[in-house]
Structure 1
Amino acid sequence: MYDVMSGVRVIEVAEHTFVPAAGMVLADWGADVVKVERIQGGDASRHLQLPGTDGLLNPFFEAANRGKRSIALDLTQEAGREQLYRLIASADVFLTNLRSDARKKMGIEPDDLLKRNPTLIYARGTGYGLHGAMADDGGFDYPSSWCRSGAGYMQALVDEMPPKQPASIGDLTGGVTLAGAVAAALFRRERTGKGAIVDNALYMVGTYLMSQPLLATGIGMPTIPNHAQMDAMLALANNYRTRDGRWIALCLLVDKWWPDFVRHLERPDLLDDPRFADAAGRYANRRALIEALNEIFATRDYADWCQRLATLEGVWAPVQSPAEVLRDEQALVNGFVSQVDVENGDPYLAGVSPAQFDEQTIGTLRAGPAFAQHTDEVLRESGLGDSQLAALHEAGAIK
């Protein structure tokens, strides 16, 4: 991990992926992140297990919780809340995505915590924001950030169901942007000594990710929905199937790249074809060009095309599987994928949070904590002795 947040203490009362991902990013940057989990079962994402992964690490939990310490407090009990308040008194950041009724019941609203620590950065994630009819509604990534924002609509083919996300795009984007907002608030605190309340919402993440089509619609431009491969607006910004059924993605948006691309295809006749002589012609005759490129890409296997296009002047990409990404030399040499060490288990590889400091890769990371693994350790750091811990365990206020 990095050291840019070294010395920063983060207390997290959050579940699932959105706000816990912010805690994970801060941990990647060097913060000490203490995850406070409910007494009964902990974070709900611990129990969202993919079929066939019983007994293995849980991606739903790991993806947002590596590098943290876990304690379990009963925040419905006064004794449990008092332990949280002890931690808040010396904390720098508090993270939560609990709904307003739960925050009020547990005494973790901004006023509750800022009066105990006026310099605290209180960071909150919601589904739909703080105002309006949906302010108290719960949210999840796909419906809240993907579907409501227009992303699902724009990806659906006519008369087809909108596609599901391939991963938690709204949650993870929301987490890293919330971490960035926390960093900005900490910077202001360094200058002014002033704490802050920082908010993010899944719906807001979605509207940000959809900035271009929302802007286009707002100024009266027609929206361009998703399309079948043969109906692409630009033949050179399209995907093409190889002989062995894999896909190559082209994004040749610069006109001067056309001759070099044709040379790599070994089809000089395309340069002489008057239909494709310039960008206007390639647009007007895009369907004919797509048909020609479909035939060309179908003559060679995926590996062959990857090798041939490696020297292409323009931008392209192989459509890789997750397994291929984990062995991709470009991802590995840059540290975009890194090893995560597992206590009493085998390490695994994972994508890292998207920032690097001092031209260094993040290095080896630490897996997510076991449930309540650090309760006694963290509370001893706050000043409790063995007899006090024993009494709190007996009362069921901690686990």
Structure 2
Amino acid sequence: MDNRQKSADSSGRGALDGVRVLDLTQVMSGPFCTMILADLGADVIKIENPDHGDQTRKSWGYSVVGDDSRAFLSLNRNKRSVVLDLKQETGRELFLELAKTADVVIENFRPGVAERLGVGYEAVNAVNPSIVYASISGFGQTGPYAAYPGYDLIAQAMTGVMSVMGEPDGAPMKSAIPLADLGSGMFCAIGILAALLARGDGDEGQYLETSLFESALAMSVWESTEYWSTGESPKPLGSANRMSAPYQALATSDGHLTIGANNQKLWHILCAVIDAPELEHDPRFVDNNNRMDNRADLVAELERRFVRKTTDEWVALLLDAGVPAGPIRNYEQVLRDDPHVKARHMVTSFEHPVEGTTSVLGPAIKLSRTPARVVTPPPLLGQHTDEVLAELRKPVERPA
């Protein structure tokens, strides 16, 4: 443990202690956002439909012991669950009473649904002007696509992301990682933190929104750059990089490695490591532009040499010489065996009252004094309804 880690606050306070979040979201984008806030210490109260709760509780992914799916368990730790029927007047009234005690409300209904339920921004702002109210939707609250359903797959398709995934001349392919869902959740968390900071000690909150569509598009940095630079739509490149070469996966004698010789110095070092001085000054590869223009030839020349040794042998040689490189691993190797994952606490677990010991990914944000933590398991449906509603009868304590 280094000095940065040793300075953690011994009281166990989180960076967002004292911040109360009412979470009206479900499935992935919103729950991912509120999980980040909860890991950082916010009191996240998950408001769920009393009949079935979050859609992912029973209808997504695998269930192992109880009814709640592992998809739900992976996104809802450190939260409290309250069941309220927002279609009934009593449920709406209780929600607005809770909103008076909250700092943040976040929803990911289709545009207009929160307003129809009586829990939209105007209704909440009327009872709590300091509220930070966040909406996540598929395509934003305005614009010609606003009413479209919010699905990661559709957002990836309509932003161009699927057009650049996969191998050259292959069928359109989505990113296996749901980047529109997760990206919108991360952007929303950033927006919430910015709005809380802008509020300071004053009483004026604000409304913010993110969308799956805009989040996926915002991540298309290299692709948009290529289009504006060349006037042509980018094409799929497999594992290659749009801005430099070689920067991709290459075959070895027993698998594949990744290599990032993305500047001229590293290119020269790479040629020395693989004992290929003839490539160093080959006109096809003399600089980055030429290497990108002749990428297929470059890959063929490199792989002809890389297949002489194993992945581990090459990675060791390349790293020792200062060339960025790494093996391609599967998730079993990463989650079960990787010593760096263990050292960085990226696999953790909680004790669930039904599921028992359950493994989950750990927080990726590392704060030295107020670290993110996995403290409590995902709640059972309505587990904290009585507890949270009882708190309405006493003031919410805020840190000094």
Q: Do structure 1's residue 214 and structure 2's residue 224 form an aligned pair?
A: yes
CA contact (8 A) 1:234 1:286 kept: no
Secondary structure of the residue aligned to 2:304 is: helix
Alignment match, 1:36: 47
Distance 2:69 2:321 in 1: 39
- Aligned runs of 1:1-399 on 2, under 5 Å? 3-50=14-61, 53=64, 55=66, 58-144=69-155, 146-157=156-167, 159-218=169-228, 221-227=231-237, 235-244=245-254, 246-265=255-274, 267-270=275-278, 274-275=282-283, 278-279=286-287, 282=291, 286-326=295-335, 327-335=337-345, 337-344=346-353, 345-352=356-363, 354-358=364-368, 362-383=372-393
Give the partner amino acid of 2:256: W
Q: Deviations over 1:32-79 (max 9, x none)?
A: 000001111100011234368565973422333221111111111111
TM-score by length of 1: 0.85
Give the partner amino acid of 2:386: D
Distance 1:229 1:112 in 2: 48
Secondary structure of the residue aligned to 1:311 is: helix
Q: 1:286 to 1:153 in 2, by over 3 A?
A: closer
Q: 1:263 to 1:332 in 2, by over 3 A?
A: farther
Distance 2:63 2:88 in 1: 37
Secondary structure of the residue aligned to 1:138 is: coil
Distance 1:310 1:365 in 2: 38
Distance 2:256 2:192 in 1: 40
Q: 1:54 to 1:343 in 2, by over 3 A?
A: closer
Secondary structure of the residue aligned to 1:115 is: helix
- How large is the RMSD of aligned CA atoms in angstroms? 2.9
Secondary structure of the residue aligned to 2:44 is: strand
Give the partner amino acid of 1:72: V
Distance 2:209 2:391 in 1: 29
Q: 1:138 to 1:2 in 2, by over 3 A?
A: farther
TM-score by length of 2: 0.85
CA contact (8 A) 1:156 1:225 kept: no
Alignment match, 1:388: none
Q: 1:99 to 1:286 in 2, by over 3 A?
A: closer
**Which deviates more from structure 2 when the two are superposed, residues 326-335 or residues 247-256?**
326-335
Secondary structure of the residue aligned to 1:176 is: helix
CA contact (8 A) 1:11 1:34 kept: yes
**Which deviates more from structure 2 when the two are superposed, residues 9-18 or residues 354-363?**
354-363
Structure 1: segments with no counterpart, 5+ residues: 385-399
Q: 1:377 to 1:163 in 2, by over 3 A?
A: same
Q: 1:350 to 1:56 in 2, by over 3 A?
A: farther
Q: 1:153 to 1:289 in 2, by over 3 A?
A: closer
Secondary structure of the residue aligned to 1:70 is: strand
Distance 2:241 2:207 in 1: 47
Q: Count residues with an aligned counterpart.
A: 379
Q: 1:230 to 1:216 in 2, by over 3 A?
A: closer
Q: Deviations over 1:201-237 (max 9, x none)?
A: 1111011011332244345533331136799986522
Following TM superposition, by how much is the alpha carbon of 1:274 offset from its aligned partner in structure 2, in angstroms?
4.4
**Which deviates more from structure 2 when the two are superposed, residues 15-24 or residues 225-234?**
225-234
CA contact (8 A) 2:163 2:235 kept: yes
Distance 2:125 2:292 in 1: 59
CA contact (8 A) 2:257 2:327 kept: yes
Following TM superposition, by how much is the alpha carbon of 1:196 offset from its aligned partner in structure 2, in angstroms?
0.6
Q: Deviations over 1:72-93 (max 9, x none)?
A: 1111111111221121111100
**Which deviates more from structure 2 when the two are superposed, residues 203-212 or residues 325-334?**
325-334
Q: Deviations over 1:229-275 (max 9, x none)?
A: 7999865222112222x32111211111133323433x255467645
Structure 2: segments with no counterpart, 5+ residues: 1-11, 395-400
